[in-house]
Amino acid sequence: MVVTLTYVGVALTLEFFLGLGLALLIFQKLKGMRFFRAFLILPTLTAPAAVGWMWLYIYDPNVGILNRFLALFGVQPLLWNTSINSSLLSVILMDVWQWTPFMFLILLAGFESVPEEVQEAVRVDGGSYWQALRHVTLPLMSTVIVVALMFRLMDLFRFYDAIAVLKAPAQSAEIITQHIFRQAFSYGDQGMASAESYILLLIMNVILFVFFLRRLR
C-alpha cells in the first residue's frame, strides 16, 4: 500500500500540473498549436500493454534510447526498470507519459468553457493575467478539475497491464493490483485476493467521498 499510495500521489500530481501547463499553452491559440494538440493525444490512444513494451525497450540498458540520450551528457547506463532503486520511478514516468494528455484534454475543455467576458472584466479592472487565472478562471473550473482528478485517481488504483509488461522488481514497484493478481493466480489464494480487492475498493470510495465533500463545500 505504501508503494501504491506513493505511485498514485506522485503520478497524479505530475499529470495534473503538466496537463494544466499544456492546457494553458494550447489555450493561447498560438500558431501551430492545433497540430501540437493532435500530436499530444497520441499516447492516450495507445493500448497500455503496447506502452509497456515500448518503454521496456526505451529503458533497455544496452539499446534503450533513454540511456543513449543520457550518454551524450556522460551519464553511465542505468538499470531503469530492473533496479530496486529506480523501478518505481520508471513506472511513474511511463504512466505520466501516457496519461498527461488525458488531463490536458479535460483541463483544456475547462479553459474553453470559461466565458471570455469574465476574464476581460478582470483585466479591465486592472487585474493581471495570472490574477485572472488564479482568482477567476481556476475557481470556475473547479468542477472540471475535480472530475479530471477523480477519473485519473480511479485509473491509477486499478493500473496493471503496462506495469506487468515492464517487469519491474516486486520489492520496490509492486502496486496493490499486482499483489492481488499474484495472490490469486500465482499463489492460488483466492480468498486473500478477494479480501484485498474489497479493501482497495473501500479505500477508493473513501478518497472519492472526500473529493465530493470538498466539491460540495
User: For 197-208, how does the pLDDT look when each residue is reduced to its tens digit (9 = 90+)?
Assistant: 999 889 888 888
Given a contact cutoff of 8 angstroms between Cβ atoms, the answer to whether 8 and 16 are in contact is no
CATH number at residue 36: 1.10.3720.10
What does the DSSP assignment read for 53-89? HHHHHHT-TTT-HHHHHHHTTTPPP--TTTSTTTHHH
- pLDDT of residue 107 exceeding 90, the answer is yes
Given a contact cutoff of 8 angstroms between Cβ atoms, the answer to whether 176 and 159 are in contact is no
Question: What is the DSSP code (8-state) at residue 75?
Answer: P
Question: What is the DSSP code (8-state) at residue 187?
Answer: S
Residue 169 has what pLDDT? 63
d(CA 166, CA 51): 9
User: For 171-181, how does the pLDDT look when each residue is reduced to its tens digit (9 = 90+)?
Assistant: 677 888 888 98
How many structural domains comprise the chain?
A: 1
d(CA 122, CA 129): 8
- pLDDT of residue 73 exceeding 80, the answer is yes
Residue 171 has what pLDDT? 63
d(CA 48, CA 51): 5
d(CA 204, CA 163): 20
Rounded to an integer, the average pLDDT of 205-213 is: 82
Grid coordinates 488504483 are at which residue? 157
User: For 110-129, how does the pLDDT look when each residue is reduced to its tens digit (9 = 90+)?
Assistant: 888 888 777 777 777 777 77
**What is the radius of gyration, based on Cα positions, of the chain?**
20
Between 39 and 170, the more confident residue is 39
- Count CB-CB contacts under 10 A for residue 67: 19
Average pLDDT, the chain: 85
Instruction: Give me the domain span that covers residue 195.
Output: 2-216
- pLDDT of residue 74 exceeding 90, the answer is no
Grid coordinates 517487469 are at which residue? 167
Given a contact cutoff of 8 angstroms between Cβ atoms, the answer to whether 122 and 65 are in contact is no
Given a contact cutoff of 8 angstroms between Cβ atoms, the answer to whether 42 and 105 are in contact is no
